[in-house]
C-alpha cells in the first residue's frame, strides 16, 4: 500500500520573510528622526535663504501711486552685498579679530593640555575642570562681565593703575578693542579646545613616552617632538572650528556696543545682516549677504584645511 506524503507548509520560510522585513526597516526607522530634523532645520532654511536671496522689492507704477512689489531681482542682492562698504569693512574687522584670537586660543589650549598631560602634574582633575569652567558660561554673560571690567569707571585694572600713578586705559577704544574681544574669546574658548587636545593626548600609547625617556629625552623634548606632532589632527580640528566661529562673531560686539561708541551697528557682518533683515526690512539683501558669508567661510575653511593637510600630513588624504 502506497502512502502519499504531502509536503509540509513552508512556515519557516514565511516566518523568515516576515522577520527579515522589520530588520530591513529598522535602520531606516532609527535614521528617520535625525533625517527629518536635518531636513526641517537645516536643508529647508538653506533652500529658503537661497530663494530669498534672489528676490526683492521694486516700485511698481509711477508717481505718488507707486507701490512696492516683491519679485525676482536676479543677482542684484549679491552685487549690493559685495559692493557694500559697511559689509566689506565688517569682513576686514573679523579677519583682524581672527588673526589675534585664533593663535592665542589654540596656543593656550595646547599649552594647558601639554601641562595637564605631564606625569608630575598635581590636581589634574581640578585644573582640568577649572580651565573648562569658563566655557560653560554663556557668551552674553561673559561679555557683560568683561564689559564692566573694561569700563574706565568700573575697571579694577584702571583703579589699580590710577593708584600706582599711571593713566587709565580705554580698553574699548580702537587700538585695544580687538584685543579686548580676543581676550573674551580666550577666556571662554580655551577650555573646550584644551579638552579636545587633551583627549587626543590621552589616546597616545604610553610606550612611546617610555621609549623616549629610555633614550634620554626630556619632558620638553617629548612634548615638542612627540606629543605635538601626534595631536596634529586635533589641532587641525580645533583650528577649523575656530575659523568658523570667528566668522560667526556677533554676541560680543552686540553686547559691548552700549558700552562704547567705537562699535557701530554694522561692526561685523552678522550685525550688518541683522540690520538689513529687521531694521531695513530687506530680507533679500540679508539672505544674499548670509550666503556670501557662508560661502566665504566655507572657502577659507577649505584653504586652512588643505594648508594644514599639506604641512602636517604631507599631502595625504
| pTM listed for this prediction | 0.85
What does the pLDDT read at residue 57? 78
Q: How large is the angle between the packed helices 174-202 and 124-132, nearest 10 degrees?
A: 140
Which pLDDT score is estimated for 1? 46
pLDDT given for residue 56 in this prediction: 86
Residue 308 is predicted with a pLDDT of 79
Give the pLDDT confidence score for residue 5 in this predicted structure: 56
Backbone torsions φ then ψ of 12, nearest 5 degrees: -65, -40
| Range 154-166 average pLDDT | 87
- Per-residue confidence (pLDDT) for residue 242, from 0 to 100: 93
Determine the pLDDT at residue 166: 83
Confidence of residue 12 (pLDDT cuts 50, 70, 90): low
Q: Determine what percent of the chain is predicted with pLDDT higher than 90.
A: 64
Burial 241-258 (b: 16+ CB within 10 A, else e): bbbebbbebbbbbbbbbe
pLDDT computed for residue 241 by the predictor: 92
DSSP state of 83: T
Give residue 37's pLDDT: 94
pLDDT digits (tens, 9 = 90+) for 172-226: 988 889 999 999 999 999 999 999 999 999 999 989 999 999 989 998 999 999 9
20 band by pLDDT with thresholds 50, 70 and 90 = low
CA dist., res. 142 & res. 149, Å (int): 11
pLDDT confidence of residue 161: 85
Looking up cell 617629548 gives: 222
Distances (CA, A) of 197 to 105, 128, 146, 227: 12, 12, 26, 10
Q: Give the residue among 102, 100, 186, 97 at the shortest CA–CA distance from 146.
A: 186
What are φ and ψ of residue 309, in 5° steps? -65, -40
- Express each pLDDT in 72-130 by its tens digit: 888 999 999 999 999 999 999 999 999 999 999 999 999 999 999 988 888 888 999 99
Contact status, residue 83 vs residue 99, Cβ threshold 8 Å = no
Residue 212 neighbours by CB under 8 Å, 6+ apart:
221, 222, 226
Task: Give 30-51 as a DSSP string.
Answer: HHHHHHHHHIIIIIHHHHHHHH
pLDDT at 132: 94
CATH number of 76-313: 1.10.3720.10
The DSSP code for 60 is E
What is the three-class DSSP state of 317? coil
pLDDT(238) > 70: yes
Amino acid at each position: 500500500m502506497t502512502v502519499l506524503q504531502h509536503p509540509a507548509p513552508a512556515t519557516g520560510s514565511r516566518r523568515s520573510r516576515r522577520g527579515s522585513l522589520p530588520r530591513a526597516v529598522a535602520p531606516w526607522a532609527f535614521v528617520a528622526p535625525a533625517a527629518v530634523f536635518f531636513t526641517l532645520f537645516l536643508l529647508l532654511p538653506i533652500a529658503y535663504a537661497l530663494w530669498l536671496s534672489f528676490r526683492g522689492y521694486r516700485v511698481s507704477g509711477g508717481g505718488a501711486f507707486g507701490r512696492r512689489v516683491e519679485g525676482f531681482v536676479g543677482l542684484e542682492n549679491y552685487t549690493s552685498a559685495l559692493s557694500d562698504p559697511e559689509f566689506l569693512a565688517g569682513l576686514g574687522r573679523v579677519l583682524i579679530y581672527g588673526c589675534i584670537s585664533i593663535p592665542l586660543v589654540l596656543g593656550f589650549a595646547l599649552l594647558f593640555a601639554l601641562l595637564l598631560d605631564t606625569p608630575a602634574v598635581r590636581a589634574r582633575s581640578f585644573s582640568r575642570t577649572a580651565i573648562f569652567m569658563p566655557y560653560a558660561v554663556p557668551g552674553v554673560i561673559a561679555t557683560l562681565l568683561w564689559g564692566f571690567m573694561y569700563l574706565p569707571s568700573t575697571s579694577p585694572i584702571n583703579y589699580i593703575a590710577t593708584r600706582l600713578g599711571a593713566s587709565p586705559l580705554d580698553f574699548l577704544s580702537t587700538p585695544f578693542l580687538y584685543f579686548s574681544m580676543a581676550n573674551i574669546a580666550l577666556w571662554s574658548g580655551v577650555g573646550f579646545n584644551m579638552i579636545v587636545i587633551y583627549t587626543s593626548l590621552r589616546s597616545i600609547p604610553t610606550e612611546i613616552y617610555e621609549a623616549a625617556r629610555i633614550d634620554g629625552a626630556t619632558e620638553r623634548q617629548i612634548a615638542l617632538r612627540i606629543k605635538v606632532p601626534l595631536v596634529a589632527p586635533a589641532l587641525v580640528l580645533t583650528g577649523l572650528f575656530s575659523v568658523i566661529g570667528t566668522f560667526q562673531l556677533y554676541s560680543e560686539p552686540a553686547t559691548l556696543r552700549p558700552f562704547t561708541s567705537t562699535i557701530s551697528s554694522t561692526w561685523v557682518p552678522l550685525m550688518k545682516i541683522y540690520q538689513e533683515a529687521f531694521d531695513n526690512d530687506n530680507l533679500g539683501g540679508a539672505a544674499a549677504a548670509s550666503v556670501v558669508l557662508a560661502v566665504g567661510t566655507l572657502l577659507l575653511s577649505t584653504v586652512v584645511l588643505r594648508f594644514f593637510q599639506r604641512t602636517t600630513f604631507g599631502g595625504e588624504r
